[in-house]
Structure 1
Amino acid sequence: MATLTRAPGSAGRRRQGASHRSTVTMKIAMALSGAVLLAYLTAHMLGNLKIFFGESSFDHYAHWLRTIGEPLVPHEGALWIIRVGLTVSVVVHMAMAILLTRRARRARPVKYVHRPPVQGSYAARTMRWGGVIIALFVVYHLLDLTVGVANPTGAAGKPYTNVTADFEHWYITVIYTVAVVAVGFHLRHGVWSMTRTLGRRRPGTERLAGRIATGYAVSMTAGFLSVPFAVTVGIVG
């Protein structure tokens, strides 16, 4: 009676296939969590621009955020739902980034004496330290304008006063600028990578994806920096 034998290396091919699928799954999870963060950043940037309509408009917007969904949800309930969702997205995004980086290193365990120049954009090469800057800034930003303990004024219920109090100090504007520029580089590479992960790759779309990513990153950076610069030079305040 004939017996069936497996082709040599079939187990290895199955392991490679499983590894590839898990890598793709991690990339998709990273892209989707990144998309959630992009949506929040876009809304946050647009909301910040309310400051150009005056103190009452900006304060009204900030207070409105705390009443979304009332009376179906408690006061600030929607904000806490958003905060939890963002926290989960950040954790997933960072975890997938770490796992994918480690997997890429394991796939290339040999260190070359003469390492060839890294291919890719400047944004791609600075994603690691940029992420550290962003993480540290988020902590400071929360202590500054959410908790209020790091704000020069820390006036409860007066977001316009707190924002303008921040950027009347040039060094806070510098800190904010460095962080936002890091965000811009991160966004440029992140949007480009997300379109490659979630979209269909076709001839000629690489350049278009790069242009879209660059345009989005520049727009977001300019939008976020417009507020501190306007306060610093006296347009707002």
Structure 2
Amino acid sequence: MVVTRTRSPIRSNVGLKAVMAVTGIILVLFLIAHMLGNLKVFTGETSFDHYAHWLRDIGKPLLPGVWFLWILRAVLVVAVVGHIAAATALALRARAARPVRYAHRAKVQGSYAARTMRWGGVIILLFVIYHLLDLTTGHLNPVGDPSNPYSNVVADFAPERWYVTLFYTLAIVSLGFHLRHGAFSAFRSLGQQTPKGERRARTAALVFAVALCAGYLVVPFAVLTGLVA
């Protein structure tokens, strides 16, 4: 008797795209919430520090200490790993589906965002690691005082540490390209396949990516120029 193994639905192309969509939504929602929290730096040191300490107290007394943040971090790690794994699997299957290169194949002109997804993802990953060691654990921050988040941010993007702002900008711009491509792909998956629909999808994806990038970049440049001190 021959036993036929069926592939799990989640491992099919449709399933992997669903994984990318769900994990992408989780990550985008976090990015929006994190951006809004960062913007509270413009409300002053007391307000920003109060917000940062409030994050540590979410869930009390049901959850002890900073458990909520660790649960959130665990969810984000799972989402990132799932997103990368699904994207990698789909890319490998697409390459395997066309194993032989054509001798006179014309060069495909994809969007800049699509062509830079790989190195952009590497930059973002390196930045996330640095960001955690900088503003979460404090190991790479000049102040490194968890009780004073506002001072950590101001010290981090001080003019003499311009290279940190440069790296931050590079990572956020890479994130913007990634979001623009991802949002456009999501709109297409929702049925925006007509020329008019694709134009709208491209515009919406661009506006969203630019708005999110601006929301993140305004903080370090405000510190760099002395607007926040």
In the superposition, the TM-score normalised over structure 2's length comes to 0.91
Aligned position for 2:71: 81
1:143 paired to 2:143: no
1:117 paired to 2:107: yes
Worse-superposed segment, 111-120 or 55-64: 111-120
Aligned position for 1:223: 215
Query: Does structure 1 retain, via aligned residues, the 8 Å contact 2:56–2:68?
Result: yes
Letter in 1 for 2:225: V
Describe the SS at the equivalent of 1:137: helix
Q: List per-residue Cα deviations over 1:49-75 (Å, max 9, x = no partner).
A: 000111111111111111112112222
Aligned position for 2:227: 235
Aligned position for 1:44: 34
Aligned ranges 1:1-237 → 2 under 5 Å: 22-168=12-158, 169-197=161-189, 199-201=190-192, 203=194, 204-237=196-229
Identity of aligned residues (%): 58
Distance 1:23-1:155 versus aligned 2 partners, 3 A rule: same
Describe the SS at the equivalent of 2:12: helix
CA RMSD, aligned part only?
1.9
Q: Give the whole-Å Cα distance in 1 for the aligned partners of 2:117 and 2:133.
A: 24
What is the Cα deviation at residue 114 of structure 1?
4.0
Distance 1:176-1:18 versus aligned 2 partners, 3 A rule: closer
Distance 1:123-1:49 versus aligned 2 partners, 3 A rule: same
In the superposition, the TM-score normalised over structure 1's length comes to 0.88
Q: Give the whole-Å Cα distance in 2 for the aligned partners of 1:51 and 1:112.
A: 55
Aligned position for 2:3: none
What is the Cα deviation at residue 202 of structure 1?
5.2
Structure with the greater alpha carbon radius of gyration: 1
Letter in 1 for 2:27: L
Worse-superposed segment, 206-215 or 130-139: 206-215
Q: List per-residue Cα deviations over 1:142-165 (Å, max 9, x = no partner).
A: 000011101122123111111110
Distance 1:234-1:109 versus aligned 2 partners, 3 A rule: same
Distance 1:18-1:117 versus aligned 2 partners, 3 A rule: farther
What is the Cα deviation at residue 113 of structure 1?
3.7
How many equivalent residue pairs?
Answer: 220
Letter in 2 for 1:141: H
Describe the SS at the equivalent of 1:123: helix
Worse-superposed segment, 146-155 or 203-212: 203-212
Q: List per-residue Cα deviations over 1:75-133 (Å, max 9, x = no partner).
A: 21211111111011001000001100100000111123444233332111111110010
Worse-superposed segment, 221-230 or 63-72: 63-72
